[in-house]
Amino acid sequence: MINMKLKPRAFCVRKYMQFPVFATVIASAVILAAISSQKASAASAMIFFNGNMGTIASLTASEINGVRASGFGTIVVFNLRVDAAGNLLYGASANYPTACSNGQYVGDPAWPGLWAQCKAAPSSVNRIEMCIGGWLDQSFQNIKNRIAADGTGSGTVLYRNLQALHNVLGIDAICFDDESTYDATSASQFGQMCIAVGMKVTLCPYTNPGYWQTVKSNLGPLCDQVYLQCYDGGAANNPATWNGYFGGLKVIPGYWDASDFLTKMQGWKNSPVYGGFFWPNSNPSASSMAQYAGWIHQALDQNIAGAHRMVDIQNSKAIDNGSSTLGAGCVQWDINSVGGGTQQIWNFSQNSDTSWNIVNQRTGLNLEMESTANGAQAKVWSANGGSNQRWWVDRQSDGTFKIWNQWTSKELENASSLVNGAPIIQWDWNGGIQQRWSLQ
C-alpha cells in the first residue's frame, strides 16, 4: 500500500427481541444509534487501518466502538510482513513484533480478543483482513524465496504460520499489495496456501494489470475482491478500465483525500463499482470513519426498494414461504409462478436506519431470525419492529448481494444444498456462493 431453525415462543422472548441484543460488555445504546445512522444498504465499504500495528494491539473501548458503529463492513489491517525466515510480523519495520513464528502465534495475547470485539454484534464489521506488502516492502520476494526453498506443503513454515494466524486471530482474508516482486507463480502458490488454511485472498493493485490478472485467474473464486488504489502512484487509475481485467469481478476503488473523497466516489458510480475503500494516512477517529463510510454509501448505494425474488446463485433457487403460520420456516425452491409465485416474492422497504424489512408478498409476514446460532432457520412473523426483522443488503463486487440480519450479524444461505425444500439458514459470512444472492 502506498502510504492502511420452529418452536412455540414465550411472549417474553418475543418482547425482548424487539430490542437490540448486545454481545459484549463494551456495547451501548450509543453504538447501535451510530450503526443505525451509518450502515447503509447496498455499497460495500472498506477501510484500511494504516500505521503502527503495535498500537492496534492495544485498541481502546472507544476505538472498538467507533469501528463497530462506523458503517464499514471490512477492515483491512496494514500491514503484515513476511521476513526472510518466513515469520509473520506486524508493522512497517523489522523492529515490530512477530505475530507468528514456527507455526505458533507469538503476538500480543490481547489482540485476538480485541479484533473479535470489533466484529461482535451489533457491528457493521463482519470481515477482517490483513494486508501483506506495500511500497518498498520485501515480503513477496521473501515469499518467493521461501517457496523455492521449502515448497508449499502443510509442513512448511509459511503454511504453518498462516494457519496459526487464521486459527488464533480469526483473520478472514489476506490482501496482496505486491508493489515490486510481481512473480505471479509464487504469489499464486502463496495464495493457494492462504486458501488451504481457510482464508480468502484479495488483491490491492495500482499498476501491472497483467500480473494481477494472472494471480486472480490462478486463485479462482476464493480470490473475491480487488481493491484498486486510485491515489499516489495509482492516481490515474480508472476503475472502468480495471473492471475489464478480472472476469466480471468489479474493482472496489479507494481514495484518501477528504477534500474530494465524495466527489471521487460519485464519479465512479457508473463505472460500475459496488463499493469503495478509505485509505487514511493515520489511524482514524470514530467520527472520521463514520464520515468516510457515509460518503461511500451516499455515493454508491443503489435503491433496491420494491418486489424481488431472492435467488441463490449456487443453484438458482428462490427463497420460498407461502405459509401464513407464524414461525413457519423458509426454504428454497425452483423459481415458479404457482399461485402467481407470490410465495417467492418479497417486498423490500427501507427503515430510517437504512436497514431493510423483507415482507412476503403472499402472506404479509416479515422475514426474521429467532436465534443467533449458526444454522438457525430463517422464518416469518408479523411485523414487530425488532432488529431480528431488519436486514442489511450489501452489494458485492461481482454484482451479487449478501443479506445479513441486524440482530445476529449472520448471512442468509442455503447451506450448499441443491434440493428443493432445503431450509434457508444463517451462518457467519464466509463469502461462499451459497451466501450470495441475486435480486430478481
Which residue is it, cell 520476494? 141
Task: Say whether pLDDT at 53 is over 80.
Answer: no
Q: What is the pTM of this model?
A: 0.76
C-alpha cell of residue 155: 509442513
H-run or E-run covering 278: strand 275-278
pLDDT of 403 reads 93
- Residue scoring higher pLDDT (42 or 78): 78
CB atoms closer than 10 angstroms to residue 191: 24
Could you give the CA distance from residue 274 to residue 334 in angstroms, rounded to a whole number?
28
Vertex 187: Cα angle to 75 and 102 (nearest 5): 75
CB contact at 8 A, 152 and 161: no
The tens digit of pLDDT for each residue in 144-161 reads 999 999 999 999 999 999
- Residue scoring higher pLDDT (43 or 225): 225
The tens digit of pLDDT for each residue in 394-434 reads 887 777 889 989 899 899 999 889 999 999 999 998 878 89
Cα distances (Å, whole numbers) of residue 334 to 199, 317, 435: 32, 5, 17
pLDDT-derived band at 292, boundaries 50, 70, 90: very high
The tens digit of pLDDT for each residue in 308-342 reads 999 998 889 999 998 999 999 999 999 987 777 89
pLDDT of 272 reads 84
pLDDT-derived band at 34, boundaries 50, 70, 90: very low
- Length of the chain, please? 440
Which residue is it, cell 457491528? 123
Peptide bond preceding 205 in cis form (omega within 30 of 0): no
CATH number, span 11-300: 3.20.20.80
CB contact at 8 A, 173 and 127: yes
pLDDT of 35 reads 39
Mean pLDDT of 378-403: 90
Q: What is the mean pLDDT of the chain?
A: 85
Mean pLDDT of 269-294: 85
Helix%, strand%, coil% for the chain, nearest 5: 30, 25, 45
> What phi-psi label fits residue 26: left (phi over 0), alpha (psi between -120 and 50 degrees) or beta?
alpha
pLDDT of 65 reads 87
Q: Given 3.30.56.10, 1.10.240.10, 3.40.1390.30, 2.80.10.50, which CATH number is that of 306-439?
A: 2.80.10.50
Burial class (CB in 10 A: 0-12, 13-18, 19+), 10: exposed
Which runs of E-coded beta strand occur in 321-370? 331-334, 346-350, 356-360, 366-368
Task: Say whether pLDDT at 204 is over 90.
Answer: yes
Task: Say whether pLDDT at 56 is over 90.
Answer: no
> What phi-psi label fits residue 340: left (phi over 0), alpha (psi between -120 and 50 degrees) or beta?
left
Give the sign of the dihedral formed by CA 430, CA 434, CA 437, CA 438: positive
pLDDT of 189 reads 98
pLDDT-derived band at 4, boundaries 50, 70, 90: very low
What's the start-to-end Cα distance of the chain, in Å? 38
The tens digit of pLDDT for each residue in 162-183 reads 999 999 999 999 999 999 999 9
pLDDT of 169 reads 92
Which residue is it, cell 451466501? 435
- Residue scoring higher pLDDT (344 or 392): 344
Tell me the percentage of the chain whose pLDDT exceeds 90. Answer: 56
Could you give the CA distance from residue 121 to residue 118 in angstroms, rounded to a whole number?
9
pLDDT of 114 reads 86
Mean pLDDT of 190-205: 97
Peptide bond preceding 87 in cis form (omega within 30 of 0): no
Task: Say whether pLDDT at 18 is over 60.
Answer: no
Task: Say whether pLDDT at 16 is over 80.
Answer: no
The tens digit of pLDDT for each residue in 85-98 reads 999 998 655 566 88
pLDDT of 15 reads 24
Residues with Cβ within 8 Å of 411's Cβ and at least 6 positions away in sequence, in order, are: 402, 403, 404, 426, 427, 428, 429, 435
C-alpha cell of residue 341: 409465485
Domain boundaries, the chain: 11-300, 306-439
